[in-house]
Amino acid sequence: MTCNSPGPSRRPRLLILTPDFPPAPGGIQQVVHRLAAGMDAFRTLVVALDDRDAAAFDDSSGLAVRRVRAGGRRGRPIAPRAARMAALNAAGAGEALRFRPQLTLSAHVVTSPAATLSRRLLGARTCQYFYAEEIGARGRLAAFAAREADLSIAISAYTAELIAGTGATPRRLQLIPPGVDIPVDATPRRADRPTILTIARLEERYKGHDVMLQALPLVLAKVPDAHWLVIGEGSLRPGLEELARAHGVSHAVSFLGAVSDGQRDEWLRRADLVAMPSRLPGGHLAGEGFGIAYLEAGAFGKPALGGSVGGAREAIVDGETGLLVDPSDPVEVAEATTRLLLDHELASKLGRAGAARARDLAWPAIALRVQAALLELLDSP
């Protein structure tokens, strides 16, 4: 029997540096994991921050992962973020010297110093991933990362605009959107009530939970039994629960907190739509770079509702896979939500188109696109 792919020892060595990796939840965590698992042309080592239950996750993942315990021994308080990032970069540089990669992928601008050091000491080609929020929050570091990397990957044209706004000119730039997991069974199930679903950590105000609460009384006026389900946990939850009481809609809202992937998928099968009217935050910050939740809606054949700003304009094809609205206008959010709850033919049409787009952006295909970009970089002069 012959095999066309090289053995593990002959594959180019790829070092991935990231502060965000499962089992911690989040979009960046998903991006980095799916790339590490899906690019089989490389011999890959991931260097990531330690996390609760990380050992069990790594044992079952089939990936080579080196965890960095930036908070000292277990049981001690977590170190400040700056100290954790310094520890991660130091560990990344040390692993680069031992692993001697041909390629280093920095999955966040905070790991760009270690990636740059790998390039300068070992001649390893470097790739920098960009999303959105981190560019506005760390403009100087983002500019450094874009200038130093041999290749920059932006998850959207909006993200590329943010990179340009730092004043840096990347040596090479490619736009590659995030992918989405295609469910084995996306058969819809009827919920007891018309159901609106939002999936997002309750940490960033720009996600639009507050505007959804302001819109909900208007929705209930036309759809009295409507139910808003919120998946995600975070520091904003107590304030949002109080806001729900203030607007008199607590009976129509369920904060589910963090749930398992299986529970999330079950609610995606039951929901009528996925709504996340993200807006641009103040202080020159970036907001949504793309929005994987919108693709997840499509993967389950559900229409998506998003804000008509930032990367959501590329994740949702307005009028085709979902509806884009002014995310600062509760009335417009309510009208679009009500329309999708009552117009079943429209919702079904948008859901079918969303499902087709999700298949085009399935993670295996996206991982192959990134892999091809990295191999091209490796072969370039």
Q: Running DSSP on this structure, what letter comes out for residue 362? A: B
User: Has this prediction a pTM greater than 0.85?
Assistant: yes
Cα 267 from chain centroid (whole Å) = 19
Comparing CA positions, the residue from 317, 306, 312 lying closest to residue 352 is 317
Between strands 273-276 and 173-175, the pairing is unpaired
Residue 76: count of CB within 10 angstroms of its CB = 9
Q: How many Cα atoms sit within 13 Å of 323 on the Cβ side?
A: 22
Determine the Cα–Cα distance for residues 267 and 296; give it in Å rounded to an integer: 11
Angle, CA 68 vertex, CA 65 and CA 72 arms, to 5°? 150
Query: Which residues does 198 contact at the CB level (< 8 Å), separation at least 6?
Result: 207, 209, 212, 228, 229, 230, 231, 232, 274, 275, 276, 293
Beta bridge partners of 119: none
CA torsion, ordered 102, 107, 110, 116, to nearest 10 deg:
20
Provide the 10 A C-beta neighbour count for residue 7.
Answer: 8
Which pLDDT value is given to residue 4?
A: 45
The domain locations on the chain are: 8-179+362-379, 195-360
Please report the pLDDT score of residue 246 as a whole number. 96
What is the assigned CATH class of domain 195-360? Answer: alpha beta
User: Which positions ≥6 away from 242 have C-beta within 8 Å?
Assistant: none
Sheet of 253-257, strands arranged across: 253-257, 227-231, 195-199, 273-276, 304-307, 322-325
Q: What pLDDT sits at residue 281? A: 86
Domain 8-179+362-379, second-level architecture: 3-Layer(aba) Sandwich (3.40)
3-state helix, strand, coil in the chain (%, to 5): 45, 15, 35
For the chain (381 residues), the mean pLDDT of every run of 10, in chain order, is 51 97 93 98 97 93 93 55 92 96 98 96 97 93 98 97 96 97 93 96 94 98 98 96 97 96 95 96 79 96 97 97 97 98 98 98 98 96 80
Nearest to 234 by CA among 201, 273, 269, 206: 201
CA distance 380 to 370: 15
- In this prediction, residue 283 carries a pLDDT of 59
Give the pLDDT of residue 81.
Answer: 82
C-beta neighbour count of 360 within 10 angstroms: 12
